[in-house]
Chains A and B, each alone.
Chain A
Amino acid sequence: MSKQSRIIRKAMGYTVLLLMLLIIIAPFFWMVDTSFKTNLDIGNFPPSFLPHPATFEHYIRAFSTYGFGIYFRNSVIVSIIATLIVLVLASLASYAIARLPIRGKAPLMVVLLAISTFPEVAVISPLFVIMQRLNWLNSYQSLIVPYVAFNLPFAIWVMRTYFAGIPKELDEAARVDGAGVLTTVFRVILPLATPGLFTGGVFTFVACWTEFLFALVFNSSNNFRTIPVGIALFSGQFTIPYGTIFAGSTVAVLPIVILVLIFQKWVVAGLTAGAVKG
């Protein structure tokens, strides 16, 4: 490549990069910006660029009047418990698939991948009937159990590749020292496979945090609603309380943004796992 065309390419690269950042950030900025505006300000057309005066009233109202705290608590409980269960079950299963002699591994992995992409609507009515029979509607387990099942396949898929990369000699050394299979997994292998745990964990947590259809159908009572359902049904009777919606939304987005920025490397690894493995 000549020097001139390389410079042109770089210039194009920077242009695309800046445009992309602008397009991604602008709607976000508008949402956070609006959450600090007074209702009077929000109703103005054309809208003002920055809030004047800035107010916290929507944040206070979201938690006091609209009970956003309940939704937040429910989302945290459901997402954390589901993620922990997924990590434990996926660790066992992916270690076994990566190391131990099991028949039919290849078709098993294909079936797992297929399940992880299945649309939820396929199972919504039978699960609803089953949950009703179990008396599970409006509970935490009505979400935790499906979330575990729907996120296990991808977690197993990702973690298996990490386990496969750990030298087998370590297993053998542990066995010589008298460690059983479970001790080997949790004491020897898992500490070395933390990147795999991070990737599986972050993907599961994000999927649980954002899931909508199951949460909408299984937990209709206000006390068991998660953030997505709460925000979708926030609409008032006559007007849409945008300020309050966006205050709640900003609070809901923050933990995930922090989580993803901390674990950025492993999230990228997870997104690219498919591309690498084909």
Chain B
Amino acid sequence: MIAGYLMTAPALIVIALVTLFPIGYSIWMSLNTITSTYNGFQFSFNGLNNYVTVFQNSMFWQALWFTVTYAAVTVTLELVLGLLVALALNQPIRGRGLAIAVMLIPWTLITVISAQMWDYIYNGIYGVLNAILMSVHIINVPVLWLGSPVTATISMMVADIWKTTPFVTMIMLAGLQLIPSDLYEAAKIDGATGWRSFWNVTLPLLRPSIGLAALFRILQAFGLFDLPFVLTNGGPGTSTTPIAMLAYKAIFNDGNFGTGTAVAVATVGIVIILALLSLKALRTQVGEIE
């Protein structure tokens, strides 16, 4: 029946034109030296030269390492915290509806706004974080939280965890509610309570939700851009520059379209490999349960 194809066509054409075609064009751009002229962009094919330049540049490896560690730390902490909060909320307690409503707010917040908000909280001169820590005598002099690589990285991670843990919690909570309560009853008859029932019933059945949340968050973490753009602009120095920002700066600040695009394409390659691996892991987990 032709109507089916006609009805899906408009959506698929838009998606293909704006996502699939540019990805192909991206690969082509990454194989060219591109110069900006009055008549637009001039392409000249240079093979894999851009990739050689990128892989020989220590900045690429630094940004990649930063992105990977940032993703690993934030996603792990978000999963643990999200699971804890979801477990606490997965019982008939008052104010659950309110809690869920409030949790939606950070998720809908414009990242740039949350970055400005945290920038003011971390401010070294009149930031409220210093005021609180000084009043309880944890520190004696104001700290420039965004002024050194380690504290800037941690500050950024905290802002990220604050914003995205609620999202992870919602996915976990949905997963918890799908676990039939008679499984717990059965576990109880077998003598499993508390921790044992958590390890043997809750956790295995929650693996699809955990996997899904992890996949979404890892992919998002590889696109990390808005938060450092406002909070640190990649600094101090280049210590908090994620890979997406490296590509952006190479392209739009330095005008290196070829090498910048090569950075972006390399990132996407890594993301695809990660996504395929976690999808495969996810599928075997789901298969185990069914």
Residues of A at the B interface (CB closer than 8 Å) are 1, 5, 9-10, 12-17, 20-21, 23-25, 27-28, 30-31, 34, 42-47, 89-90, 92-93, 95-97, 99-102, 112, 114-115, 117-130, 132-133, 145-146, 148-150, 152-153, 156, 181, 185, 206, 209-210, 212-213, 216-217, 227-229, 231-232, 234, 240, 242, 245-246, 249, 252-253, 256-257, 260-261, 264, 267-268, 271-272, 274-276, 278
Is A275 a contact of B174 with CB atoms below 8 Å? Answer: yes
Is B93 a contact of A17 with CB atoms below 8 Å? Answer: yes
Could you tell me the distance between the alpha carbons of A95 and B8 in the complex, rounded to whole angstroms? 9
Q: How far is the CB of B96 from chain A (nearest CB, A)?
A: 8
Give the residue among B220, B230, B257 with the most A Cβ atoms within 10 A. B230
Supply 14 A–B pairs (Cβ within 8 Å), ascending by A.
A24-B102, A24-B105, A46-B135, A117-B220, A123-B23, A129-B25, A149-B17, A153-B15, A210-B109, A210-B110, A213-B244, A231-B112, A257-B108, A260-B101
Is A278 a contact of B40 with CB atoms below 8 Å? Answer: no
Is A16 a contact of B89 with CB atoms below 8 Å? Answer: yes
Q: Is B275 an interface residue (CB 8 A)?
A: yes
Could you tell me the distance between the alpha carbons of A176 and B142 in the complex, rounded to whole angstroms? 76
Is A260 a contact of B108 with CB atoms below 8 Å? Answer: yes
Is A245 a contact of B29 with CB atoms below 8 Å? Answer: no
Is A127 a contact of B18 with CB atoms below 8 Å? Answer: yes
* B: number of interface residues (CB 8 Å): 102
Could you tell me the distance between the alpha carbons of A132 and B34 in the complex, rounded to whole angstroms? 15
Is A149 a contact of B15 with CB atoms below 8 Å? Answer: yes
Could you tell me the distance between the alpha carbons of A267 and B125 in the complex, rounded to whole angstroms? 39
Q: Is B45 an interface residue (CB 8 A)?
A: no
Chain B residues, Cβ within 8 Å of A9? 91
* Contact pick for B271, options A12, A119, A264, CB 8 Å: A119
Given A117-B275, A122-B268: A130 in contact with B226 (beta carbons within 8 A): no
Chain A residues, Cβ within 8 Å of B20? 115
Chain A residues, Cβ within 8 Å of B26? 122-123, 125-126
Q: Tally of A-B residue pairs with Cβ under 8 A? A: 285
Could you tell me the distance between the alpha carbons of A244 and B173 in the complex, rounded to whole angstroms? 38
Q: Is B212 an interface residue (CB 8 A)?
A: yes
Q: Is B46 an interface residue (CB 8 A)?
A: no
Q: How far is the CB of A114 from chain B (nearest CB, A)?
A: 7
Q: Is B48 an interface residue (CB 8 A)?
A: no
Chain A residues, Cβ within 8 Å of B220? 117
Interface positions of B from 76 to 104, Cβ below 8 Å from A = 84-85, 88-89, 91, 93, 95-96, 98-104
Q: Is B143 an interface residue (CB 8 A)?
A: no
A2 to chain B: closest residue by CB: B193
